[in-house]
Structure 1
Amino acid sequence: MKKIFTLVFIFVISILTATNVHADHKLASYSVTPIFSEHQTDGADSYFDIKWPPASKESFGIKITNNTKKTKRFEIEVNKARTNRNGIVDYSDRTPEKANTVYKLTQMIRLPKEVEVTPNSSQIIHGSISFPAKDFNGILMAGLHFTEKTTTAKKNTVSNTVAYNIPFVIRGNHDQRPKPRLSLDQLKMTKPNLSTYELDAKLTNHHQNLLKSVKTVSSIKNMDNKTLKKETKRIDITPETTFENPIQVPKNIKAGQYKLVLTMQHGKDHWKFEKNFKIKPADLKVAKRHQIQNHSALFIGLAVIALIVIGVGWIIFKKLKRK
């Protein structure tokens, strides 16, 4: 009987881990390596970190290695670094920079948009960045985003292509950074899945500051100032970025008026925001209906898995009994 359980366990684990094995194989198909410029910051050996040299043009490179037996084409994007909903830096967001941004790093960096690499070989891509004559005291952040170009991609299909990101940081030649300024712009109810709601706090980092490990405390309160939900986390906020900081709404909350109290701390800098919001009865009805549907689907899925495990175990048991 012990042998039966062992075989069933191995069968189930093999199903659960099949995707990871495939992903590891894909990760080895190609690689990218930065080739640094003259003004690369000492100690930064895996990404570009350049101190602003006024009125100059800086050259850099990237080596792309194709580890397969087929010729591959790779697409290269320069994207602004942004803070995503999880509070981490995202280099894959293609949203254009705001029109009033003084220094658009996505336009200052020059790179070919596509490159072809022959089988089992490497190719060096040459890039450049031009700096204005004025001094600069902030921080700019972008990401070089590399993906393999596929010709079989179709609409409504899931791509399994591995992407690489190389951060590209520019530090001002003046070490005195601007005073950080954050603002709470908007509150919006969203539904990340069928059974829960989140309150998205839309915030903006107005200046050219990188704010790392910002402590955020989000509290949902009723109009009597009673705290119904409280979340504490740390996030990284990229320069000149508008981002969303979500907090999950309690499942037992009722329709009515509420208040978000959001405090943020970065070193000696503190911010406190308060804003009222409303939950409509119709929103809660939709959430509860989907929650019931989700629970039903979960129970059905678990029952199917249990039947498969029992069936496999029974087949193995019958074969062992015959022996």
Structure 2
Amino acid sequence: MRRGWKVLLAIGFALVTMIGCLPTAWAAKTATNNVGYTVRPILPSNQMSKQISYFDLRVTPGQTQKLQILVTNTSNQSQKFRISVNQAVTNDNGVIDYSQLKPKRDSSLKVGIADVFSQDSMQTVTVPANTQKRVTVSYTMPSKKVRGIILGGIYVAQVQPNSEQASGRIMIKNAFAYAIGVSLQEGATVKPDLKLNQVVATQINARNFITANLQNFQPGLLQKLAVTARITQAGSNQTLLSQQQKQLGMAPNSNFNFGIPWGNESLKAGNYTLYLTAKSGDQQWQFVRNFTVNAPTVKRLNRHALTPTQPNYWLYLLLILLIAVLLAIIGYLIYRNRHTHDTK
């Protein structure tokens, strides 16, 4: 009898394990890695707030200044780092990004990081084991007053030699990186402002999307942005697609593509209307845009689109049936065991 119980428990455990392995939505935990180094800014006297850990500087026309960061190698071996000062842009996740070495310049950007920081700001430094090194970058503001904020970041990328060589030179690849923001401001703060550019059908990671390009055309930082979008057939009020995102951010004078997933069905040609609302603090923007998805675009995108995996409902039903049978057997054995004891 005990052996029978052990077998049933083993079967039950196996079924529960199988259920746990079925495809479901889940959140992955990111392990905290010891990267072996730290980076911090050495804040100058024109820092507007000493309570923040990035360069937030009040500057004047024509001003030249050297900025320093302290790179500390906490590992037991020498490490190499690539230092660059990059323009702040907005990536398509609605996140301000300092990692792009030569990003595409936004059409509204008049004076950017590359216009004020010297070319020798890009450098590679080696820091011996368990030591610190100060790294200096310098900028010169234009002689004419600049409106709003120039935003970028000092990007420190840990690099390591690859075992492979190409053309007699060691190939370098990034291992980990830090970004320290750099905000340069001469006058009053400028409010951000949004406009809607093109709306197109495209593909992201082999999935069909409608993307709406949003542009912050002012030299002001846009934070805690919430965007709600829906798409209808032209002339109809019935929502075909919708998407909502919160806590987005946009760098000054930047743009990004707000993506609206097409869903599980194939893309269809036709005339559509986008309704998009964006909110940040006391500012709000509303856009309505008609757009067309033509047949050649549909054919090209659908040819390469991945079909979303559909859940295997028969597998779920089979497992539920097996569990029900298992529970019935366990119930029967419990009943028979008690009945046997009662008759003795």
TM-score w.r.t. length of structure 1: 0.74
Structure 1 counterpart of 2:82, one-letter code: E
Match of 1:206 among 191, 212, 217: 217
Distance 1:166 1:136 in 2: 22
Distance 2:107 2:288 in 1: 29
**Long gaps (5+) in structure 1:** 14-18, 303-323
Could you tell me whether the CA contact under 8 Å between 1:141 and 1:239 is conserved in 2? yes
Structure 2 counterpart of 1:56, one-letter code: Q
Aligned-pair CA distance for 1:65:
1.3
Could you tell me whether the CA contact under 8 Å between 1:205 and 1:239 is conserved in 2? yes
Could you tell me whether the CA contact under 8 Å between 2:278 and 2:285 is conserved in 1? yes
**Long gaps (5+) in structure 2:** 1-5, 22-28, 166-170, 316-344
Distance 1:96 1:290 in 2: 27
Instruction: Verify: 1:258 aligned to 2:272, yes or no.
Output: yes
When residues 133 and 44 of structure 1 are mapped into structure 2, their CA distance, relative to the original with a 3 A threshold, is: farther
Q: Report the equivalent of 1:273.
A: 287
Aligned-pair CA distance for 1:100:
7.2
Stretch moving more, 133-142 or 202-211: 133-142
Q: CA RMSD in A?
A: 3.6
Could you tell me whether the CA contact under 8 Å between 1:38 and 1:58 is conserved in 2? no
Which of structures 1 and 2 has the bigger CA Rg? 2
Instruction: Verify: 1:70 aligned to 2:82, yes or no.
Output: no
TM-score w.r.t. length of structure 2: 0.70
Distance 2:104 2:304 in 1: 38
Structure 2 counterpart of 1:108, one-letter code: V
Instruction: Verify: 1:184 aligned to 2:196, yes or no.
Output: yes
Aligned-pair CA distance for 1:275:
2.1
Q: State the aligned residue count.
A: 284
Q: How does 1:174-253 map to 2 (within 5 A)?
A: 174-177=187-190, 180-194=192-206, 196-226=207-237, 227-234=239-246, 235-252=248-265
Distance 2:163 2:294 in 1: 41
Distance 1:269 1:93 in 2: 29
Match of 1:106 among 114, 124, 128: 114
Q: Report the equivalent of 1:34.
A: 41
Could you tell me whether the CA contact under 8 Å between 2:200 and 2:211 is conserved in 1? yes
When residues 163 and 289 of structure 1 are mapped into structure 2, their CA distance, relative to the original with a 3 A threshold, is: closer
Instruction: Verify: 1:79 aligned to 2:90, yes or no.
Output: no
Deviation sequence 1:142-177 (CA, Å, 0-9, x none): 01111122220769x9x67111111111223x2252
Give the match's secondary structure for 1:295: coil
Quote the sequence identity (%).
Answer: 26
Q: Report the equivalent of 2:328.
A: none
Could you tell me whether the CA contact under 8 Å between 1:199 and 1:248 is conserved in 2? yes
Give the match's secondary structure for 2:204: coil
Q: How does 1:157-172 map to 2 (within 5 A)?
A: 161-172=175-186
Match of 1:123 among 128, 133, 138: 133
Aligned-pair CA distance for 1:20:
5.3
Give the match's secondary structure for 2:56: strand
